Structure 1
Amino acid sequence: MQNNIQECFKSMSVNEKRLLILSSPLARTQDATEKDAIIITAEDFSKECGITQHSAYAQLEKASKALIKRYFSYHNDKNKKVLSNWVIDCTYESGGIAIRFPEVVLFMLKEFDKVNPYTKYKKDIILKLKKDYSFDIYHLAKKFQAMGKFEISLEDFKNELGVPDSYNDLSNLKKRVIQPSLDEITEHTDINVTYENVKSGRSVVGFRFIVKEKPKLKAIEGRDPNTVDMFCKMTDSQINTYSSILSKVHSISDLAGDKDYKAFAIWLASILRDPSSVREETAKRIFKALRTETDFKG
């Protein structure tokens, strides 16, 4: 069942995957059954995915319509083949969507967490991935992170991602699938990924991916870790990543005023660069949220 489910995931859109990722913890905490609707609001979808609320509702509706048409197969305990839909029905509320899932899908959402790649990674990382194939390449890279690199044949790579025939052209595959995904993974996640061709003669027969964990942030020596003037040396990329995460954190949302997510993230980035630019209690709140909501350990 797990293998068939993952095969089905490959063909899903980014927003279909997001919808399932957000449904998983709700299914567990609510101990949902087929009779129970899981509600994903446009507000929550917009905050988690970093998009406008208006766009969130439209994308939720489109994703749910696609999901309700999908099915997968598995063999039951009597070794009989079973076909199952992903979704029983969707009710379109004014503020979001209420979805009822079959028991077999609820089982996956609630019980497969430790092995299911679509529910085991941190939401604040994977929901930032917006390119069609970023999540699948991220999952591949994470499997081989401890080794630092892995090789995969061209055909296996295309099968793993479920790319259409339009990407049989190598330059198209690199330009539209691989490089945009790697750029997004490196910018928004906990790893840096690069790649190089594997050749047989002049022909490219596969790829070698190099996976490196981003360095952990370290506190500046000699500073009191309980004071606001304590911080760590971060790159601009790290600052941009953390400020983007913080812009969607509820505990400091009142600091945004009338700023949208992007403007609020830019303001937060300026605070991370120079905490003395705001009042001490404001900086303390931001740093507390940073430690609570991210993997920051300073």
Structure 2
Amino acid sequence: MNEIEKRKVVEHNDLISSVAKMDKTPLKIFELAVSCIDTENPPKDNIIYLSKKELFRFFKVSDNDKHSRFKHAIEVMQKQAYFNIRQNKELGIEYESIVPIPTVKWNSYNDDVFIRFNPDIMPYLIDLKNNFTQYALSDVMELNSKYSIILYKWLSMNFNQYEHYSHKGGRRKEQLEEYANPSIKISELRQLTDTVNEYKKFPDFRKKTIDIPIEEINRHTHFMVTYEKIKKGRSIDSIQFHIAKKEQPIELNGEYKEREQDPAYLQGKVNKEVTQQALFAEAMQSPYTMELITSTLLSPVEMTDINLMANLQQEVYLLYKELENIVGLEGVRKHLEYVSNKKLDYSKPNLVKYLKTAVMRYLDSGDTKQPEEDKTRYLKTKGNVKAVNGNKIPDHRYKPAYVNETTPEEQKELERIKKQFSDSMKK
């Protein structure tokens, strides 16, 4: 791992929530420069030095024209790039426009690039006692769209709060769920991405600022993200995101490193990962996944959990197939409605065990042999919902958007989500 991939970027939340009036390249140069700041020992006179070699490696530039392209990017950054920062002051909202890096100097005979930050931007980079967000520079490095970077930082800001308060406490369960499933109004998302006057048609706006960024974020960063559209009347009022973190290897000590170099261990690890990915892919294509979502037993964000979906495929779906052979798919659906209506407070790690136990008891009970007309009919409830502007929105931890009868539009959206994660596993 090189030095760039080890670095973190730390920024105040007000800066992350600001409007970046710049293109992708100036924004990435700024992120790279910020990663060089030691918040414990702020740079003297707000000056840091970048390496040209590091800069070109960060942008993966290797052609002969790289120096002139770098010069042009710096000129554009200094002439056009600024942050429009909104602060909540006691007397009202206050706006501040800041050119973040007014001075850049370099020459042709050494590797150093001199960068001086604007003093007005420094409080958002070093005075970080609270309300700040940290994320990996390597995540930003791989993103190829300005909107991807902006959305990634905003999602990081929310999910970091979820992780922080999950460990430290101090927030209600509902508040934690909001951090992991943040929503943003379309008008606010347009301001954040600086597209108030662009992409007037919603499909174009969604593709540029949501679909493409999420595809990049899922492929290149530590996050797996899905989203859904929240309507107000006939119009799309807001977007709700569902964020999950990809599993990372845990380095225990030197024993871990030695074990990682053992060919037998490595082969076993590869085989296990391949098996998990295969089971995950099967689960994403299984009709039982759709039935679990429809029955509010599985949420879109939980679909991003590879272990969970692989275990459902291996432990539960085979039993559902056995049940379907006896009572048909409609019988499986009624069983899931019954399980959902029990409203037991199970935790995520116990979901597979809970569903497996329920279907095994049903198979062993003998009830599956009853004639259809003699079976008890269980009416599906609508679950725990919140009213927002007259529209009912489900509790997304255990009550996802796909409840009751699925409309063609919702079915299409689910298929898009399934394909998205299936494609990401192949890459």
Specify if TM > 0.5: yes
Provide the secondary structure at the position in 2 that maps to 1:194. Answer: strand
**Equivalent residue for 1:252?**
none
Q: Does 1:129 align with 2:121?
A: no
CA 1:15–1:139 in 2, change beyond 3 Å: closer, same or farther?
A: same
- Using the TM superposition, give the Cα deviation of residue 224 of structure 1 relative to its aligned residue in structure 2, in angstroms: 7.0
Q: Is the 8 A contact 1:10 1:162 kept in 2?
A: yes
* Corresponding letter in the other structure for 2:114: A
Q: Does 1:197 align with 2:229?
A: yes
* Corresponding letter in the other structure for 1:93: N
Distance 1:224 1:2 in 2: 39
Q: Does 1:99 align with 2:99?
A: no
**Equivalent residue for 1:86?**
100
- Per-residue displacement from partner, 1:163-196 (whole Å, max 9, x unpaired)? 2412221011122221110000000111111222
Distance 2:244 2:58 in 1: 26
Distance 2:118 2:104 in 1: 12
RMSD across aligned C-alpha pairs, in angstroms? 3.9
CA 1:209–1:107 in 2, change beyond 3 Å: closer, same or farther?
A: closer
Distance 2:222 2:245 in 1: 6
Q: Is the 8 A contact 1:46 1:53 kept in 2?
A: no
Q: Is the 8 A contact 2:183 2:240 kept in 1?
A: yes
Q: Is the 8 A contact 1:43 1:56 kept in 2?
A: no
Out of 66-75 and 97-106, give the one that drifted further.
66-75
Provide the secondary structure at the position in 2 that maps to 1:28. Answer: coil
Distance 2:96 2:154 in 1: 28
Distance 2:138 2:193 in 1: 22
- Using the TM superposition, give the Cα deviation of residue 159 of structure 1 relative to its aligned residue in structure 2, in angstroms: 1.7
1:228 to 241, 262, 265: 262
Distance 1:81 1:140 in 2: 19
Q: Does 1:168 align with 2:194?
A: no
**Equivalent residue for 2:220?**
188
Q: Is the 8 A contact 2:16 2:154 kept in 1?
A: no
**Equivalent residue for 1:213?**
245
Distance 1:169 1:186 in 2: 25
Distance 1:235 1:191 in 2: 20
Q: Is the 8 A contact 2:18 2:84 kept in 1?
A: no
Normalised TM-score (structure 1):
0.61
- Per-residue displacement from partner, 1:204-257 (whole Å, max 9, x unpaired)? 2222222122134489xxx97253323334469x9xxxxxxxxxxxxxxxxxxx
Distance 2:261 2:182 in 1: 43
Distance 1:82 1:166 in 2: 23
Q: What does 1:6-85 correspond to in 2, within 5 Å?
A: 6=16, 10-28=20-38, 31-34=42-45, 36=47, 38-52=48-62, 54=64, 57-69=67-79, 70=81, 85=99
* Corresponding letter in the other structure for 1:65: E
Q: Does 1:150 align with 2:182?
A: yes
Provide the secondary structure at the position in 2 that maps to 1:103. Answer: coil
Q: Is the 8 A contact 1:4 1:72 kept in 2?
A: no
Number of paired residues?
A: 228
Provide the secondary structure at the position in 1 that maps to 2:247. Answer: coil
- Per-residue displacement from partner, 1:67-87 (whole Å, max 9, x unpaired)? 323556889xxx999876433
* Corresponding letter in the other structure for 2:240: R
Q: Is the 8 A contact 2:46 2:119 kept in 1?
A: no
Normalised TM-score (structure 2):
0.45
Provide the secondary structure at the position in 1 that maps to 2:44. Answer: coil
Distance 2:104 2:241 in 1: 40
CA 1:81–1:185 in 2, change beyond 3 Å: closer, same or farther?
A: closer
Distance 1:81 1:131 in 2: 26
CA radius of gyration, larger in: 2
Identity %: 17
Provide the secondary structure at the position in 1 that maps to 2:101. Answer: coil
- Using the TM superposition, give the Cα deviation of residue 110 of structure 1 relative to its aligned residue in structure 2, in angstroms: 3.7
Distance 1:216 1:2 in 2: 26
**Equivalent residue for 2:286?**
none
CA 1:211–1:6 in 2, change beyond 3 Å: closer, same or farther?
A: closer
Q: Is the 8 A contact 2:230 2:238 kept in 1?
A: yes
Q: Is the 8 A contact 1:150 1:209 kept in 2?
A: yes
* Corresponding letter in the other structure for 2:116: R
- Per-residue displacement from partner, 1:89-117 (whole Å, max 9, x unpaired)? 22242256322233333454444497544
- Using the TM superposition, give the Cα deviation of residue 23 of structure 1 relative to its aligned residue in structure 2, in angstroms: 1.8
CA 1:113–1:174 in 2, change beyond 3 Å: closer, same or farther?
A: farther
Provide the secondary structure at the position in 2 that maps to 1:34. Answer: helix
Out of 175-184 and 202-211, give the one that drifted further.
202-211
* Corresponding letter in the other structure for 2:115: I
CA 1:92–1:152 in 2, change beyond 3 Å: closer, same or farther?
A: same
Out of 168-177 and 51-60, give the one that drifted further.
51-60
**Equivalent residue for 2:380?**
none
* Corresponding letter in the other structure for 1:158: R
Distance 1:202 1:159 in 2: 22
Provide the secondary structure at the position in 2 that maps to 1:193. Answer: strand
Unaligned runs of 5+ in 2: 1-10, 163-176, 252-256, 278-427
